[in-house]
Structure 1
Amino acid sequence: MTALDKYARLEGSGVWRAGPDEQRRDVVVSLGDSSLIIADTKSGQALSHWSLPAVVRMNKGTRPAVYTPLSDGDSETLELDDALLIEALETIRAALSPKPPMRWLRLGLGAGVVALALAGFLWLPGVLVARTAAIVPEAARVQIGREALDMIFESASSERVCADPDGRQSLATLRNRVLGSDWRVVVMTGIPGLEAAHLPGQLIVLGDALVSRLDSPEALAGYLLAEAQARAATDPLLDLLSAAGTRATLTLLTTGTLPEDSLRGYAIQRLQRPAALPRATALGEALDQIGVSPLPYAMSLPEGRQALSQALADRPAQPRAAERLLSDGEWLTVQAICAH
């Protein structure tokens, strides 16, 4: 009996939100052959279908469990508190998500790249790392970033992604206005020293302590842009592979996966680094483009970054947006995103 057979036609209740601006509603959740079906509790009408292999859990280890479809980014969410349904969903997701060589690897690697891998393993580790990072497509980077984040949850039970629905909605609004919808931004609690960091796949991780101490969304915008600029300057996958070493890089190149120890070690040390230190001119120009003053960010910088703070404060004043990035109420929900 497979995992799919064991849990075939299992149903349970949940709470579904169709999008950031939609109301939460009670629903019936059914598990199909390879999909999750969300239906209205009264009429039985199907409201949404999710592909099970694409479903992502936002708060591993915490109840109620919060899920979102990978292809949908921050739009739909589903909360489940039924232990059997959660167990079934986790089991089926694991069964449908094996780790064979990735399609991009099978299609993209020819004899020349294999020869380069062997040569790099023996003589040119820097070339091997650089070449591997260069051929990994964005979809695979997104998966690597998510897996790196998941590895953190296995090291200590206190670590979690904060998933208050109102806070996530407001954070998604801020992200869209500052970075665009291609990015994913999450807030985590339980990571000592975490301020702001980025992982492969346009993924920015914020520490709950940073979000709590900032005075405004405009200040947080500076941290988001700083991480985005750091990501543009240095490929985070190149950083990961350099830290993982030649053997782990060769494993990725030949199997499509990275060793779990390499992912876990990199993710933990990456999130504990200081937040990115941007160039004042570049960050100031990026803030100008969204109509935000650099002063809130400059005033929030910790000791040791006085030079950057002063350089931003000394920039000539620019026209500012008439509206704030978030209302006061929305900003409060972001700061309370870890409350539940």
Structure 2
Amino acid sequence: MTALTEYERLEASALWRPEGETQKREVLVSLGDATLVISDFAGTPLAHWSLPAIERINGTNEKKALYSPDPDTDERLEVDDSTLIEGIARIRSALERGRYHPGRLRGMVIGAALAGGVALGVFWLPDALIRQAVSIVPDVTRVEIGAQLLDRMQRLSGRPCVTERSAQALEHLNSRLRAVAGGRLVVVESGVPTTQHLPGRIVLLNRALVEDFDDPAVPAGFALAEMERARQHDPLERLLKQSGLMATLRLLTTGHIDPETLDAHTEDLLTAPPAPIEATDALIARFVAAQVHIAPYAYAVDITGETTLPLIEADAVNVDDTRAVLSDGDWVALQGICGG
């Protein structure tokens, strides 16, 4: 060890007070490998101190250093030689670094375990709780959360469009598109660029989809695409991932989500771009099952048809398996749903 080699022959005079005595004696102090040797000037050893056990009992900013070999003894050594003081300090430091520290090791093990627990809590626990919540929250709770979000959206997108005739037409369209009964289609005046989905199988349609096209297959196609997006990106899971661990715990323990969380999520729904629909085959299968032409939707998405060519080609294959989306009367009523 460099520190030991550098100071192994260092000697200097000092004042030593043996245990149980009051008088100090001038002695010669020398440093060994791990000991401090106190001798008289004839070379006779008087005491051996263990360097790792030595404690300096006065401040390090004082010129003279006062040492003790053990906390339980009144034996003292007073050194004013700066080189010897520095040598004792450096050798003790070197020896201390090389010692086995069971407490430190235990602390490191505990620290590593705590760090692992924190990492587990940060990275695994929230996702696990969200998956648990998504799997066990009943449909009635999803419907309630969806209705609350829709109610909050009215401040930004206006009230949902509805007339007596159009409400029935919209329900006919909803029943026409869904393989399983339930859910809602809602036409909104603004806020939603094209479509959006909420918990409780609620699909929002911008009024332009029923007012700006002549074919009911266009709003039907956008609704089917949004239903597929909802299948791929669960709206409750989306809400909980944005809202965080506390919202998930609150939902699991109380069955409710606080209004502030719903408000924040509502703003996100109206500003964030829609998630991509990843599986074209799954989307095509949804159109086929609903017996709705795909091409009108595909050309509404891209008037050139370049980016939606697989949908257009699929429509040519399945054209014989389609049927009218709505009756003429229902379609006329639906186009006037917002009073336009």
Normalising by the smaller structure, the TM-score range is: 0.5 to 0.7
How much does 1:300 deviate?
0.6
User: Secondary structure, in 3 states, of the residue corresponding to 1:186?
Assistant: strand
Residue 303 to residue 273, structure 1, CA distance change in 2 (3 Å): farther
- Aligned equivalents of 2:281 and 2:209: distance in 1? 23
- Aligned equivalents of 2:281 and 2:202: distance in 1? 24
Among all aligned residue pairs of Structure 1 and Structure 2, give the percentage whose two residues are the same amino acid.
33
1:207 corresponds to: 206
How much does 1:274 deviate?
4.3
- Aligned equivalents of 2:252 and 2:305: distance in 1? 39
2:131 corresponds to: 130
2:338 corresponds to: 338
Kept in 2, the 8 Å contact 1:130–1:238? The answer is: yes
2:143 corresponds to: 142
How much does 1:211 deviate?
2.5
2:317 corresponds to: 317
Kept in 2, the 8 Å contact 1:226–1:277? The answer is: no
Deviates more, 1:324-333 or 1:121-130: 121-130
| Runs of 4+ residues deviating >6 angstroms | none
1:184 corresponds to: 184
- Aligned equivalents of 1:271 and 1:302: distance in 2? 22
How much does 1:302 deviate?
4.5
1:217 corresponds to: 216
- Aligned equivalents of 1:211 and 1:337: distance in 2? 8
CA RMSD of aligned residues (A): 2.6
Residue 326 to residue 273, structure 1, CA distance change in 2 (3 Å): farther
How much does 1:172 deviate?
0.8
Residue 322 to residue 129, structure 1, CA distance change in 2 (3 Å): closer
Q: Does 2:192 correspond to 1:174?
A: no
2:163 corresponds to: 164
- Aligned equivalents of 1:218 and 1:178: distance in 2? 11
Kept in 1, the 8 Å contact 2:293–2:322? The answer is: no
- Aligned equivalents of 1:263 and 1:304: distance in 2? 39
Q: Deviations over 1:3-58 (max 9, x none)?
A: xxxxxxxxxxxxxxxxxxxxxxxxxxxxxxxxxxxxxxxxxxxxxxxxxxxxxxxx
2:291 corresponds to: 291
1:197 corresponds to: 196
Q: Deviations over 1:297-323 (max 9, x none)?
A: 11110479842x211112242243574
Higher relative contact order (CA 8 A, sep 6+): 1
Q: Deviations over 1:162-218 (max 9, x none)?
A: 111111111111111111431211111132x43111111111111112332233111
How much does 1:221 deviate?
1.7
Kindly provide the amino acid, as one letter, of the partner of residue 175 in structure 2.
N
Q: Deviations over 1:251-305 (max 9, x none)?
A: 2222221111211221232244445643332222222223322111111104798
Structure 2: gaps of 5 or more residues: 1-119
- Aligned equivalents of 1:245 and 1:300: distance in 2? 36
2:257 corresponds to: 258
How much does 1:231 deviate?
1.7
1:107 corresponds to: none
- Aligned equivalents of 2:122 and 2:132: distance in 1? 12
- Aligned equivalents of 1:306 and 1:271: distance in 2? 28
- Aligned equivalents of 2:183 and 2:135: distance in 1? 20
Kept in 2, the 8 Å contact 1:121–1:250? The answer is: no
Q: Deviations over 1:109-130 (max 9, x none)?
A: xxxxxxxxxx958972222222
Kindly provide the amino acid, as one letter, of the partner of residue 284 in structure 1.
I
Residue 333 to residue 277, structure 1, CA distance change in 2 (3 Å): farther
2:87 corresponds to: none
Q: Does 2:231 correspond to 1:232?
A: yes
User: Secondary structure, in 3 states, of the residue corresponding to 1:185?
Assistant: strand
- Aligned equivalents of 2:257 and 2:267: distance in 1? 15
- Aligned equivalents of 2:304 and 2:241: distance in 1? 28
- Size of the alignment, in residue pairs? 218
- Aligned equivalents of 1:304 and 1:242: distance in 2? 36
Q: Flag the structure with higher helix content.
A: 2
Q: Deviations over 1:130-155 (max 9, x none)?
A: 222222111111111111111223x3
- Aligned equivalents of 2:272 and 2:329: distance in 1? 31
Kindly provide the amino acid, as one letter, of the partner of residue 175 in structure 1.
N
Structure 1: gaps of 5 or more residues: 1-118
- Aligned equivalents of 1:334 and 1:313: distance in 2? 26
- Computing the radius of gyration over CA atoms, which structure comes out larger, 1 or 2? 2
Deviates more, 1:296-305 or 1:228-237: 296-305
Kindly provide the amino acid, as one letter, of the partner of residue 250 in structure 2.
T
